[in-house]
Amino acid sequence: MVALTRYVTRFGSLDQYEKGELEIIDDDPKHYTYSNMFEVASISKPYEKVAVGKNMEYVLEVLRAEGTSGWRTTAHDEFAIVMDGEVEVRLVKLEDPSVVAPDQKGSIGLSGEPKGQNMGYVKAGKGHMVLLPTGAAYQFHADKPGVILLQTIESPDTVYKWAEICQTIP
């Protein structure tokens, strides 16, 4: 009879997460860094776009969802995954999509309310993914603190805190 290893999946949250640790099997720990998105959100300002992963110009950003964000738009699609809490994502189809240059990388903040047709909103809970489409403005709202993982392209608003958020040794 073969003994089976039992694994338990535990989901983290902003209120309850484990720091975690890096287990290197046969390599130098200096080749690896990692961070915990819930810990990053716990020390971030609301809607600060903190990079937690990067591959060339593409980034994964963690946002602390709390209160109402400013309006943003982008020349490319983005994806927001709610990792903790409940977030309302408000969408407006821009009357004038030229407010963002077609070659603009990453999202940009808009001043004031965007002009255009209201597309409605998405109420997203833990584990839900929302498309933030090209040609639309979006705004996040959360009554209680939560966590958003945003897949996007690096922008001038992307914040790098590698020295503060990454564990580099086991």
Q: How many CB atoms lie within 10 A of CB 57?
A: 11
User: pTM for the full model?
Assistant: 0.83
Question: Three-class SS of residue 40?
Answer: helix
Report residue 77 as tokens.
């699609």
Tell me whether residue 134 is exposed, middle or buried, using C-beta atoms within 10 angstroms of its C-beta: 0 to 12, 13 to 18, 19 or more: middle
The β-bridge partners of 121 are 90
Per-residue pLDDT of the chain (170 residues; tens, 9 = 90+): 676 777 676 677 777 777 666 555 566 655 555 558 888 899 999 999 999 888 888 999 999 999 999 999 999 999 999 999 999 999 999 999 889 888 889 999 999 999 999 999 999 999 999 999 999 999 999 999 999 999 999 999 999 987 776 665 55
* C-alpha to C-alpha distance for 59 and 57, rounded to whole angstroms: 7
Q: What angle do CA 71, 77, 79 make, to 5 degrees?
A: 80
Domains for the chain: give ranges and CATH numbers: 29-164 (2.60.120.10)
* C-alpha to C-alpha distance for 21 and 36, rounded to whole angstroms: 10
